Amino acid sequence: MVLLDGKIAAASVKEELKHITEALLEAGKPLPHLVAILIGNNGASETYVASKVKNCEETGFRSTLIRFEEDTAEETVLNKIAELNNDEDVDGILVQLPLPQHISEQKIIESIDPSKDVDGFHPSNVGKLVQGLPTFVPATPYGVLLLLAHFNIVTNGKHAVVIGRSNIVGRPMSILLSSNIPQGNCTVTICHSHTTNLTEICLQADIIVAALGKPAFVTPNMVKDGAVVIDVGITRVTDATAKKGFRIKGDVDFESVAPKCSAITPVPGGVGLMTIAGLLKNTLQAYTNNRG
């Protein structure tokens, strides 16, 4: 069984990016600049954004974190995004999700200039993804592709089952795995909360991508011998014995499923780390497209 270690794969991507930023610096060029917007005090979002900023620093990217209070008006955020869209010194803009109830996620996503939409959530970028055109691949599915590539996992002709149909992970993941790209060319089944015969479908999978956000949902009876299992879940589960009072749990019951797999991702230490690698690659892409 191969452990698909996100630490190793992410370090390799970050090393590659660091060489690029060092060369830019030497050439006297500006460095890629990511702006992250965080609204409110969601604990998980705070952690993710802090990690994005830290990884920017480690790879020589510039980053700016803009924070708004939970009760900030939607218009205030839209005005800030308009300002960033017009700022030539900003390459990538991301607004950390989820948003407070009173702010429309769709309005915010659509307000970001598609050429700076490093999350790849804007409908015009999603449309390009579906059509197989160059665009920003949403960071988490991008991270999964980078992980598969790093460990030379063959996807061509395989049956991939994606559990979860979110706009952030499941849906784009299913499109990418079925696309004619190096980590694609799968036959893809996308499962969700209304799927009636989930176990039966999963048992046919050569590759399972679990992205539904339910801890330990995937159990050994759902997994074929030799399957590749990618766990996108990162749920905080209360645990009084843990330092922070919670533990991060994946969507796969790792201990019992791992012995059946040819390869599996750990949680934490798997896809989560790759997500940031995907985001940084998109930011560099935005920089190259807009001022490279």
C-beta separation of 209 from 173 below 8 A: yes
Q: How far is the CB of 93 from ligand GUN (least distance, A)?
A: 10
55: contact with ligand GUN by CB under 6 A: no
101 has catalytic annotation: no
d(C-alpha 218, C-alpha 181), whole Å: 27
Neighbours of 85 (CB within 10 A): 16
Q: Rank residues 65 and 97 by Cβ distance to ligand GUN and give the closer one.
A: 97
Give me the residue whose beta carbon is nearest to ligand GUN. Answer: 97
C-beta separation of 279 from 139 below 8 A: yes
How many positions of this chain bind ligand GUN (CB under 6 A)?
Answer: 8
Rule CB under 6 A: choose which of 111, 125, 140, 283 binds ligand GUN. Answer: 140
Interface of this chain with ligand GUN, residues 65 to 104, rule: CB under 6 A: 94-97
Residue 275, class by beta-carbon neighbours within 10 Å (0-12 exposed, 13-18 middle, 19+ buried)? Answer: buried
Q: How far is the CB of 215 from ligand GUN (least distance, A)?
A: 17
Q: Rank residues 116 and 158 by Cβ distance to ligand GUN and give the closer one.
A: 116
Q: How far is the CB of 9 from ligand GUN (least distance, A)?
A: 17
d(C-alpha 157, C-alpha 263), whole Å: 17
Nearest to 211 by CA among 238, 188, 226, 191: 191
Annotate each residue in 101-120 with x if it binds ligand GUN (CB under 6 A) or - if it does not, as one string.
------------------x-
Rule CB under 6 A: choose which of 39, 139, 173, 186 binds ligand GUN. Answer: 139
52 has catalytic annotation: yes
Residue 161, class by beta-carbon neighbours within 10 Å (0-12 exposed, 13-18 middle, 19+ buried)? Answer: buried
CA quadruple 225, 230, 235, 237: dihedral positive or negative?
positive
Kindly give the pairing relationship between strand 92-95 and strand 207-210: unpaired
Q: Rank residues 118 and 222 by Cβ distance to ligand GUN and give the closer one.
A: 118
d(C-alpha 125, C-alpha 175), whole Å: 13
Catalytic (active-site) positions:
52, 96, 119
- What residues make contact with ligand GUN under the rule CB under 6 A? 94-97, 119, 139-140, 168
